[in-house]
Amino acid sequence: PRRPRVRRARMPPRGRGRAATDAAASSKTPNSAVASGKRLFVTVGTTSFDALLAALDRPKVVATLRARGFTSVAVQFGRGEASGRVRNLVSRPGLEVSMFAFKPSLEAEMRASDLVITHAGAGSIFECLAVEKPCLVVVNERLMGNHQAELAEALAERGHLRWCVPANLEQALAEFEPESLVPYEGGDPEGVARALDQLLSC
């Protein structure tokens, strides 16, 4: 009589067993996706800039961030009120958001980021330029009398950064090209002096 055929179970290829399957599954988790994307750091300095936080939370701005590959956002909100102002940002799938009021130094946050959005305070601007990170300055229109816009514009004309006001944040992010920026020579006091001269001559 004919012997019954015994169908052998197919063994997974080497390296494709359960461990490999688990690894493949874990690579699709949100945390892994976040880790593989770009990081944005937003700072308002030591005061408050609620208009910037509100602009950052607009659905179109959040969508632009995701479209440009950002998966992680850190927000330093200073003396402002962050809770309730970034609901869209926090709830957006694929975005990991962290927030804090103050830290002794923001250098580590800036160095760990692919883009820094900062208020137009001179200290924050030059700190960002010194660590050679792409810088998008958002000018507080309520403080126009303190020459913040003039400083941002003077540095933008030299190619070191880009700037906008809160209402134009979406467009500024969509058009931002870090490759077009001119590196800032941190030890170049003449460059700072020229920018300040242009500011004070206004």
For 17-72, write each residue's pLDDT tens digit: 333 323 333 333 334 335 579 999 999 999 899 999 999 999 999 999 999 999 99
State pLDDT tens for residues 153-198: 999 999 999 999 999 999 999 999 999 999 998 655 455 656 665 6
Distance CA 53, CA 47 (A): 13
pTM to 2 decimals? 0.77
Closest C-alpha to 196, from 157, 154, 165? 154
Q: What is the pLDDT of residue 194?
A: 61
Give pLDDT, residue 147: 79
pLDDT at 11: 43
Measure the CA–CA gap between 149 and 164, rounded to whole angstroms. Answer: 9
The yes-or-no verdict on residue 8 having pLDDT over 70 is no
